[in-house]
A = this chain, B = another copy of it.
Amino acid sequence: MRHVHPSEWSWRAGEGEYVHHWLKELMQGESPDMILYGAPLSRSSISPSAASAYPLEFRKMGKGFTTYNLEEDIDLRAFTVRDAGDIAMHTTDILLSHSRIEEATEDIVQTFSSSTTCMIGGDHSVTACAVRGVKKAYPTERIGILQFDTHLDVRDPSELGPANGTPIRQLIDGEIVQGSDVINIGLHGYFNAASLVTYAKQHNIDMVTLRAARRKGVAETVRTKLAELAERVDRIYVTVDMDVLDIAVAPGVPASTPGGMRADELFDALKVVGEHSEVRHIDFVCLDPMRDVATMATVKTGMYAFLEFVTGRVNQTRGK
């Protein structure tokens, strides 16, 4: 029949130039530069969240981005990313879902030991699971955490269970990570109770407030902090809680606040993060696409942030 094509045919035309095509499904036997996987869990969130919908929306947003970084004049296609899919979450058993994230991450980081891994959350509770998975795969290695966040996430799991306000505390109390190996960048304002800051101080978490980071620039601060951390640890896990961003630029993150980080600051910082060779794992969490505005500004910001990390990774691969 003349002119009739399967309904998404138009997207196939530009094949190869858009993120959508480059970010292919993982095939048996491949060994890509980066493995991407989703952890669509947000019923562990203290306040209601649909961050579980982000992995799917993240992938769909690939249609709106090309693989070419114009500022850096590099083509991301030099770097292979494969999508392993999502971890199967149970509908009501949160602990089971958590253990699956841990096990899946363990498998992934073991199987693809030379790949960077990127997990798309989900709420912040998934980070604790993933870091435990990494630890299981590499039990003798010391893991450092670089956390972009407006919050410390050291609330007490004995009270809340392993909810989204607790991951850093789970890891410290569980002796997976030392408090002094955790760097939090982006803290500001009135969003952490005094008692939580006391905990953070007791455990020597490195609290870098947004104002402090801005003094020499967020990206530059990140570079310095990563260098320091890399001296102490064997591998670095980076967790990006999208609520680090200002509420005006991240309306689709339920816990974002006024006075937060600008998008360009996060973008630049993530390029630096990508360039650092000891960074082996990253996650992006807490973006709830069902609360995003009509323009999907937050989901777009999430994709952009991811690509900046990849850009850094390309630079790192090239030995830049």
User: Which residues of A approach B to under 8 Å, CB–CB?
Assistant: 1-10, 14, 17-19, 25, 37-38, 42-46, 48-50, 52-53, 55-56, 59, 65-71, 73, 75-76, 83-88, 90-95, 100-101, 103-104, 107-108, 111, 125, 159-163, 187-195, 197, 207, 209-212, 246-249, 251, 256-259, 263-264, 267, 290-291, 293-295, 297, 300-301, 304, 307
Question: Contact at B9–A86, with CB atoms within 8 Å?
Answer: yes
In the complex, residue of chain B having the shortest beta-carbon distance to the beta carbon of A46: B91
* A191-B65, A193-B66, A291-B294 known; A56+B8 contact, CB < 8 A: yes
**Which of A65, A91, A104 has most B Cβ within 10 Å?**
A91
CA distance A159 to B161 in the complex (A): 23
Residues of B within 8 A of A5 (CB): 85-88
Q: Report how far A161 CA is from B89 CA in the complex, Å.
A: 12
Taking a contact as CB atoms under 8 Å apart, the answer to whether B56 and A48 are in contact is no
- This chain: how many copies in the complex? 6
30 residue pairs A–B, Cβ–Cβ below 8 Å = A1-B84, A1-B108, A3-B87, A4-B85, A5-B85, A5-B86, A7-B38, A7-B85, A17-B194, A19-B190, A43-B44, A43-B48, A44-B91, A48-B50, A65-B190, A68-B192, A68-B197, A71-B187, A73-B197, A75-B194, A91-B160, A91-B163, A92-B95, A92-B125, A190-B304, A248-B263, A251-B297, A258-B304, A291-B294, A293-B293
Nearest chain B CB to A43 CB, angstrom units: 4
In angstroms, Cα B94 to Cα A102, docked, is: 20
Q: How far is the CA of A100 from the CA of B17 in the complex (A)?
A: 28
A192 to B, closest residue via Cβ = B70
A141 to chain B, nearest CB (A): 20
Residues of B within 8 A of A104 (CB): 1-4
A248 & B248 in contact (Cβ 8 Å cutoff):
yes
Name which of A70, A76, A101, A291 has the most chain B CB atoms within 10 A of its CB.
A70
Q: In the complex, which of the residues B14, B295, B304, B307 contacts A193, with contact meaning CB atoms closer than 8 Å?
A: B14
Q: Could you list 13 further interchain pairs (A-B, Cβ under 8 angstroms) beyond the known A5-B85, A248-B249, A251-B295? A: A3-B88, A4-B104, A7-B55, A9-B86, A44-B91, A48-B49, A70-B197, A71-B210, A189-B304, A247-B295, A258-B300, A291-B294, A293-B293
